[in-house]
Amino acid sequence: MVRTLVNLAIFLATAAIALLLASLLIPGFHVHPGGFVVAIIVFAIAQVFVEWLVQSLFHKSAPTVAGIAGLLSTFLALLITSLFSGVSFDGIGAWILATVVVWVVTAVLGWVAAKFITPRFDRPAKR
């Protein structure tokens, strides 16, 4: 239970950091302050669902298309987020750059968290 809550917190934190960094780095990508929390939640839910869907469609060739599937799921999650919350784009360039930045940031932070944070909750308690 604790591990699940920690993974959820990590996933929401990486989504928040990725969206914030993308809004700071990409002039055409906007996360409006009033919709930031909603954008994080919508993005996280959409990302989980779309990632599951893409992986189930490409499960046999997963190693081959893992990067493309990740980019596709991030793009679709950003699209869904823009429909339901305070995220907007100014042009196709912002769409592409935001997809790449959010995908890279969530992948790197997810890897770092899996390497350094999550294993601490896998160890048995000392007695």
87-126 tens-digit pLDDT: 888 889 998 999 999 989 988 988 888 787 766 655 555 5
For the residues 18-32, what does the mean pLDDT come to?
91
Q: Where are the domains of the chain?
A: 2-121
| C-beta atoms surrounding 3 within 10 Å | 11
Has residue 82 got a pLDDT over 90? Answer: no
Closest CA to 45 of 79, 3, 77, 19: 77
- Characterize 10-31 residue by residue with b for buried, 16 or more Cβ atoms within 10 angstroms of its Cβ, and e for exposed: bbeebbbebbebbbeebeebbb
| pLDDT reported for residue 61 | 64
| pLDDT reported for residue 35 | 77
Are 53 and 46 within 8 A, CB to CB?
A: no
pTM attached to this predicted model: 0.79
What pLDDT digit, counting tens, does each position of 30-62 carry? Answer: 988 877 888 888 878 877 777 777 767 766 665
User: Could you tell me what percent of the chain has a pLDDT over 90?
Assistant: 17
